[in-house]
């Protein structure tokens, strides 16, 4: 089995997610064989810095001895038994731990295996909560509010509350109705003024629709602090806090989708902590196992849980579950991941390194096609524009953004783009030296593509 065979079979048999396979098959695929700390190594032995944390999941690095050990220890006991009608040790210990590390009275954990499923569960629980309490009074409470450009996953329910037209347009006829609220994308909303003014505009619009429709609204779902997939849209300070207050005022449930921002990504264990917001329901995924195995969880407060209690014939039961719910290997890894985050003081470390990182990132403004640099902790988006004044972006055919990603990869850095935004999501334990390499490689890739496209002179 050589790398040519693998390349051929990859192109012949594997359908890659979010990928135009025609283009993919015309290019040389990156086939990963091993990982070592912050680096991935391909089948030809070439090393790449993982500036994407393997799709935003990796916490302590690849091939981490302690995580490997936790997995081996668990697999030597049992790999999987079901949570339907029985319990297992790691899922109990992890649920207790999650209740301890999440804010406020969040304490009831429902497991699943992808962020999308965690969101589906949150939506179904929120809807059923109102029905359990009073099906007559709340018979119309069946809609959800979400932000424009929101991303909550790819299953049909999660897509229904999504606001990314590009991804979701085609599926419109399959979706349930969403009530959309404006997202405070300050960089593109300067007609309202500074970020504070943009925030106030969005909150005013949100309040208007809640005033009118709260009777029909079961919940509001939001990515706290940062809308990741939309292109690292960093919300103005205080936005989440006021959204939380509006939910209380109009008696709708607040669902925080912490799938991307949770587990240290923004510099606190959970993003909502930064604005002292305690949601009614929180979704977790991505970083929960340190990037080792698929696991997700939806955690609820006591009040919601209580509404599901009753005699079996009352049918207040939550009729939902996945085959691998509470899988032991994944739960054992998640426990070890959290334990290591604590014992290694990772949160403090991320806070320190993100300050360092923001200084380094400023250098990118030297490049004229860099329009905006957005950062919260270890989530970074660099918006690439044709013109800083008009903020016009390059077309896909111009291959500027994809060219930057490609050049970075040739120079040993894996990152990805989200539309016109170059996205960096370093592994949370990445060293300052590697963070330097990441920023420098992005700088040179943007510079090289700018020169190649004649956007800046070669002598620059």
Ligand X SMILES: *Cc1c(COP(=O)(O)O)cnc(C)c1O
Residues of this chain that interact with ligand X (CB under 6 A) are: 114-116, 119, 151-153, 223, 228-229, 257, 259-260, 285-286
CB of 260 to ligand X, least distance (A): 3
CB of 274 or CB of 450, closer to ligand X: 274
CB of 119 to ligand X, least distance (A): 6
Angle of helix 328-343 relative to helix 89-101, nearest 10 degrees, comes to 40
CB of 88 or CB of 116, closer to ligand X: 116
Annotated binding site for pyridoxal 5'-phosphate: 115-116, 257, 322-323
CB of 223 or CB of 434, closer to ligand X: 223
SS3 224: coil
Sign of CA dihedral 263, 298, 35, 335: positive
Annotated binding site: 115-116, 151, 257, 286, 321-323, 416
Structure token pair of residue 118: 């965690």
CB of 151 to ligand X, least distance (A): 6
CB of 244 or CB of 285, closer to ligand X: 285
Residues 265, 262: Cα–Cα separation, whole Å: 6
Mark 314-337 as b/e (b = at least 16 C-beta within 10 Å).
eebeeeeebebbbbbbbbbbbbbb
Q: Which residue is it, tokens 């030597």?
A: 76
CB of 114 to ligand X, least distance (A): 4
CB of 39 or CB of 378, closer to ligand X: 378
Closest CA relative to residue 265, chosen from 433, 449, 119, 57: 57
Task: Say if residue 93 is exposed, middle or buried (CB neighbours under 10 Å; 0-12, 13-18, 19+).
Answer: middle
Which residue's Cβ lies closest to ligand X? Answer: 115
Structure token pair of residue 285: 């995924």
- Count of residues in the chain: 460
CB of 153 or CB of 403, closer to ligand X: 153
Q: Are 281 and 124 in contact (CB under 8 A)?
A: no
DSSP-derived secondary structure for 231-279: T-EEPPTTHHHHHHHHHHHTT-EEEEE-TTTTTTTTSSSSGGGGGT---
CB of 366 to ligand X, least distance (A): 31
Structure token pair of residue 72: 């081996």
CB of 437 to ligand X, least distance (A): 25
413 half-sphere exposure, CB direction, 13 A CA radius: 27
CB of 175 to ligand X, least distance (A): 16
CB of 35 or CB of 285, closer to ligand X: 285
CB of 151 or CB of 394, closer to ligand X: 151
Q: Are 374 and 186 in contact (CB under 8 A)?
A: no
CB of 45 to ligand X, least distance (A): 30
Strand order in the sheet with 32-36: 32-36, 39-42, 47-50, 413-414
Enumerate the β-bridge partners of residue 181: 147
Q: Are 296 and 115 in contact (CB under 8 A)?
A: yes
> What's the first-to-final CA gap in the chain, in angstroms?
45
Annotated binding site for substrate: 151, 286, 321, 416
Closest CA relative to residue 288, chosen from 326, 239, 317, 241: 326
Within its chain, how far is the Cα of 83 from the centroid? 26
36 φψ region: left (φ > 0), alpha (ψ -120 to 50), beta (else): beta
CB of 123 to ligand X, least distance (A): 12
């Amino acid at each position: 089995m050589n790398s040519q065979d693998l390349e051929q079979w990859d192109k012949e048999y594997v359908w890659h997610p979010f990928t135009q396979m025609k283009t993919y098959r015309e290019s040389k695929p990156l086939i990963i064989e091993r990982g070592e700390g912050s680096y991935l190594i391909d089948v030809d032995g070439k090393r790449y810095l993982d500036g994407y944390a393997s799709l935003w999941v990796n916490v302590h690095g690849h091939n981490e001895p302690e995580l490997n050990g936790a997995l081996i220890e668990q697999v030597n006991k049992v790999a999987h038994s079901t949570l339907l009608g029985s319990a297992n040790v790691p899922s109990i210990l992890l649920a207790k731990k999650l209740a301890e590390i999440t804010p406020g009275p969040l304490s009831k954990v429902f497991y699943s295996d992808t962020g999308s499923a965690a969101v589906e569960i949150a939506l179904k629980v929120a809807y059923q909560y109102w029905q359990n309490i009073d099906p007559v009074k709340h018979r119309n409470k069946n809609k959800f509010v979400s932000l424009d450009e929101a991303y909550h996953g790819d299953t049909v329910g999660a897509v229904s509350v999504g606001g990314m037209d590009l991804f979701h347009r085609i599926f419109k006829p399959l979706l349930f109705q969403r009530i959309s609220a404006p997202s405070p994308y300050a960089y593109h909303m300067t007609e309202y003024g500074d970020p504070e003014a943009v925030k106030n505009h969005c909150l005013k619009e949100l309040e208007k629709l809640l005033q009118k429709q709260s009777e029909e609204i079961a919940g509001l779902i939001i990515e706290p602090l940062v809308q990741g997939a939309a292109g690292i849209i960093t919300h103005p300070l205080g936005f989440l806090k006021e959204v939380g207050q509006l939910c209380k005022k109009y008696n709708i449930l607040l669902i925080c989708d912490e799938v991307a921002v949770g587990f240290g990504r923004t510099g606190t264990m959970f993003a909502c902590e930064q604005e002292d917001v305690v949601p009614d329901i929180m979704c977790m995924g991505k970083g929960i196992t340190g990037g080792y195995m698929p696991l997700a969880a939806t955690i609820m407060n006591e009040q919601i849980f209580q509404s599901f209690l009753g005699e079996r014939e009352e049918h207040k039961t939550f009729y939902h579950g996945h085959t691998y719910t509470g899988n032991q290997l994944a739960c054992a890894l998640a426990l070890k991941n959290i334990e290591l985050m604590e014992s290694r003081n990772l949160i403090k470390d991320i806070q320190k390194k993100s300050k360092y990182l923001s200084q380094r990132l400023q250098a990118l403004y030297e490049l004229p096609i860099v329009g905006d640099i957005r950062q919260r902790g270890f989530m970074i988006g660099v918006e690439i524009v044709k013109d800083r004044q008009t903020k016009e972006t390059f077309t896909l055919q111009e291959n500027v953004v994809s060219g930057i990603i490609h050049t970075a990869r040739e120079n040993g850095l894996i990152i990805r783009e989200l539309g016109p935004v170059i996205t960096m999501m370093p592994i949370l334990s990445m060293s300052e030296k590697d963070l330097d390499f990441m920023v420098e490689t992005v700088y040179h890739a943007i510079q090289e593509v700018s020169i190649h496209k004649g956007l800046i002179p070669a002598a620059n």
